[in-house]
Structure 1
Amino acid sequence: MFAVALRLLRSILLPLAVALPLVAARAMAAGPAAPVMLALDGEFGLANSTSAESIERGILTAIDDINRQGGVLGGRPLTLITREHRSISARGIKNIRELATIPDLVAVFGGRFSPVVMEELPLLRQSRMPFLAPWSSADAIVDNRMEPNYVFRLSLRDGLAMPFLLKRAADRGQTRVGLLLTNTAWGRSNLEAANRFLAGRKEPVLVGTAWYNWRDRSLIDKYQLLADAGAQAILLVANDDEAAVLVREVAALPPARRLPILSHWGVTGGDFAGQAGPALQEVDFSVIQTVSPFRIPPDRLDPVLRTAGPLFGIHRPEDIVSPVGFLHAYDLTRILALAIDRAGTTDRAAVRDALEQVGPYRGVTRDFDRPFTPDRHEALGPDDLLMARFRADGVLVPVE
């Protein structure tokens, strides 16, 4: 009886002894699971810019969290590749064309500059590449007539920004406003948004619109035209370089001639406070934002900081440079990972469809029932907006 049992046991163990090393060898030969690739096409290399780096840090922080939790698709890690366009549309188009050819690259994140993204739209439509916008705000980026739409935005849009800024000015008793706009698609997007909001309203009154060109060395003449037209406040659409020039010039005026400036958020994508210097504290300057790390509850922000600290030295809210880029990119990456798992594949069309179905999602910025739907590719709305100011140390803090 014992001999029969021993022969039976040997008949089971011997095949196992042979099979297990073979399974292990095959697993070792197969190597680690192939990564799922994401890309960021941003304004790296642009002087004084911090936006692309902030977006990159948000993505990489989320990727680190996701990979430590097992990755996507049953154990595949996420990885990020970057391309720089330096705010030049031709470079961005070239980048998208190259990125579209990479197998297992499921989506591209964009940077700060709306004109670059808008020039990339035809190629995004042609390549059917999911495109995630954590910063660029021109309405036409999402309102692009794609069928189906491959663009998803967790960010501000000009159609929200201009009404909010105009209402904020009116609430402060500044009912006569002037627009100072960059002569780009982004500036024109904001003028259209302002005109739509003002149509049929008595207040605020738009006394004039002035345009400036990229890298203009002086804006004071445009400012003065609006002041002479009776503006009580200036609504500024600018990036950090030109805004810093304006602030220094306005601070040099007598105090009675310094109008309040309510700014779009392009100024927060670079070293605006450093370029403006002490003059910034001499001007009534506030800027629109969608989120402030100072208003995020610790139970949401602290886990993100614990990951970002060792990676980038980001340990406190004050350490987050260009905060909207970092925070939006973090949440967009987590949402994208959920969509990849929901799709069960790296097929771009399937991931696009899954992005419309993800939810609920508890984000660092806020909770989302469904960030996106088939009829809505904008994750944020009018209730997500706030105003902020720069402290003397250059840190952006919410206006109470």
Structure 2
Amino acid sequence: MSLLPVLRRGAHAAMGAAFGAALGGTFGALRTAALGAALMLPPAMPAAWAQEPIRIGTFLSVTGPASFLGDPELKTLELQIEALNARGGVLGRKLQLVSYDDAGDAEKARTFAKRLIEQDKVDLIVGGSTTGTTMAVVPLAESSGVPFVSLAGAVVIVEPAKKWVFKTPHTDRMACEKVFVDMKARGFTKAALISGSGGFDKSMRAECLKVAPAHGVQVVADETYGAADTDMTAQLTKIKGSGAQAVLNAGFGQGPAIVTRNHRQVGVGLPLYQSHGVASKEYIKLSGEAAEGVRLPAAALLVADLLAAGDPQKPVVTAYRNDFESRYKSEVSTFGGHAYDGLTIALNAVKAAGSTDKAKVRDAIEATRGYVGTGGVVNMSASDHMGLDLSAFRMLEVKGGTWSLVK
């Protein structure tokens, strides 16, 4: 367990003002006047904390196969909380982060979430790096009545809507739809699917098969690979002879990089799409030159400098990227952005509720409207506990070893 101190002085004090403006959807460069939902914090830390801290629980895959998700998520939460405490906390109360590393293990995630709720007495939970770890905790959040904002992708997390569970990332279904729209625009009507065996992979595969007909796309090949597989040439060779015009890989982690390299080695010769589950520079590094030309749907965060000057997300994603990279000396990823949005939405709700009363905070999260975050503009409702539409996705393409924005 990691229990974040009240404040680490030094670099964080300088960042306090930036994160003070973050509640409501923005970092330092974007002031609260730009967003009606933005919340102002006191200008300085009180000499002493008069009330109990607001306890924020998290379980993340900081180590293990999904560490590329959990590591930037934890770093983001720590960065936000330390800076907000430097500005006086929320409602005059210190923010305290209680974190556990589940290493991508669903059973560990459930055990840690139970500890967060029953022993650590957290007021809310922001976490769950993967669909598997998230779904292991959903029943606990529902039965305990603790607001839970997940950072995982599958649509099953919020459909059907669950009273106490919310999420910030775009869904796998949205990724399928965004890809199929792009395929049709390029004149492709026959697609091949290749997917992994993980929870996200399986869910995205199922969603793609469901929505393809509505977008005028026929799935002519449907191949899978295991989590431990290191060579997918057999599956890609079948796809090469399937009559497909484009290939979509539903997966995350190491698998998609292997698929990308094998796709080039086999000489499939078809446009390759990936999911938002690999939306980080690490995927490009692992794939090497084979990533050139690959397209995927992702958040605006990865192409902050390429956004139009009037894009409402530009100041938000630019400031978050700059603050994260300045602190950690590593490139930002969309996964840290999910954590940023999750914590900000949750703390906006605490502020709106005027307390940490769990039922009131839950209601306030559900009432989130017009929040401009790293993932898009969020408008939640009783039936929509994510609040993003297809416009929140940008279609990206790898060009020259980096991300470019498809116009």
Give the % identical residues: 21
Following superposition of structure 1 onto structure 2, how do residues 169-180 of structure 1 map, counting pairs within 5 Å? Answer: 169-180=183-194
Task: Give the direction of change, closer, same or farther, for the CA distance of 1:291–1:358 in structure 2 (3 Å limit).
Answer: same
Task: Give the direction of change, closer, same or farther, for the CA distance of 1:260–1:43 in structure 2 (3 Å limit).
Answer: same
Per the alignment, residue 56 of structure 1 pairs with 74
2:385 to 368, 377, 386: 377
Shift of 1:261: 1.0
Retained in 2: the 8 A contact 1:51–1:269?
Answer: no
Unaligned 5+ runs, structure 1:
1-26
Q: Residue 328 of structure 1 aligns to which amino acid in structure 2?
A: H
Per the alignment, residue 40 of structure 1 pairs with 58
Task: Give the direction of change, closer, same or farther, for the CA distance of 1:237–1:40 in structure 2 (3 Å limit).
Answer: same
1:151 to 165, 178, 183: 165
**Are 1:122 and 2:129 an aligned pair?**
no
Partner SS, residue 271 of structure 1: helix
Q: Distance in 1 between matches of 2:232 and 2:280?
A: 20
Q: Residue 272 of structure 2 aligns to which amino acid in structure 1?
A: I
Q: Distance in 1 between matches of 2:106 and 2:281?
A: 19
Query: Higher helix share goes to which structure?
Result: 1
- TM-score after normalising by structure 2: 0.78
Shift of 1:237: 0.8
Q: Distance in 1 between matches of 2:123 and 2:250?
A: 33
Retained in 1: the 8 A contact 2:72–2:336?
Answer: yes
**Are 1:288 and 2:294 an aligned pair?**
no
Retained in 2: the 8 A contact 1:58–1:330?
Answer: yes
Q: Distance in 2 between matches of 1:378 and 1:268?
A: 19
Q: Count matched residues.
A: 355
Shift of 1:110: 2.5
Q: Which structure has the larger Rg over C-alpha atoms? A: 1
Q: Residue 164 of structure 2 aligns to which amino acid in structure 1?
A: Y
**Are 1:350 and 2:360 an aligned pair?**
yes
Q: Residue 299 of structure 2 aligns to which amino acid in structure 1?
A: T
Following superposition of structure 1 onto structure 2, how do residues 223-302 of structure 1 map, counting pairs within 5 Å? Answer: 223-254=236-267, 257-268=268-279, 271-281=282-292, 284-292=293-301, 293-294=304-305, 295=307, 299-301=315-317
Per the alignment, residue 398 of structure 1 pairs with 405
Task: Give the direction of change, closer, same or farther, for the CA distance of 1:125–1:241 in structure 2 (3 Å limit).
Answer: same
Retained in 1: the 8 A contact 2:58–2:100?
Answer: yes
Per the alignment, residue 180 of structure 2 pairs with 166
Unaligned 5+ runs, structure 2:
1-45
CA deviation string 1:246-266 (max 9, x = no partner): 222222234xx3321111122
Partner SS, residue 67 of structure 2: coil
Q: Residue 289 of structure 1 aligns to which amino acid in structure 2?
A: A
- Greater CA deviation, 95-104 or 299-308? 299-308
Q: Residue 394 of structure 2 aligns to which amino acid in structure 1?
A: L
**Are 1:190 and 2:204 an aligned pair?**
yes
Partner SS, residue 96 of structure 1: helix
Task: Give the direction of change, closer, same or farther, for the CA distance of 1:144–1:91 in structure 2 (3 Å limit).
Answer: farther
Following superposition of structure 1 onto structure 2, how do residues 86-97 of structure 1 map, counting pairs within 5 Å? Answer: 86-97=103-114
CA deviation string 1:207-259 (max 9, x = no partner): 021111112111111122222221111111111311111222222234xx332
2:154 to 134, 138, 146: 138
Retained in 2: the 8 A contact 1:166–1:204?
Answer: yes
Shift of 1:389: 3.0
Shift of 1:342: 2.1
- Greater CA deviation, 358-367 or 44-53? 358-367
- TM-score after normalising by structure 1: 0.79
Per the alignment, residue 109 of structure 1 pairs with 126
Task: Give the direction of change, closer, same or farther, for the CA distance of 1:144–1:269 in structure 2 (3 Å limit).
Answer: farther
Per the alignment, residue 18 of structure 2 pairs with none
Retained in 1: the 8 A contact 2:158–2:384?
Answer: no
Retained in 1: the 8 A contact 2:377–2:388?
Answer: no
Task: Give the direction of change, closer, same or farther, for the CA distance of 1:235–1:302 in structure 2 (3 Å limit).
Answer: closer
Task: Give the direction of change, closer, same or farther, for the CA distance of 1:280–1:309 in structure 2 (3 Å limit).
Answer: closer
- Greater CA deviation, 269-278 or 286-295? 269-278
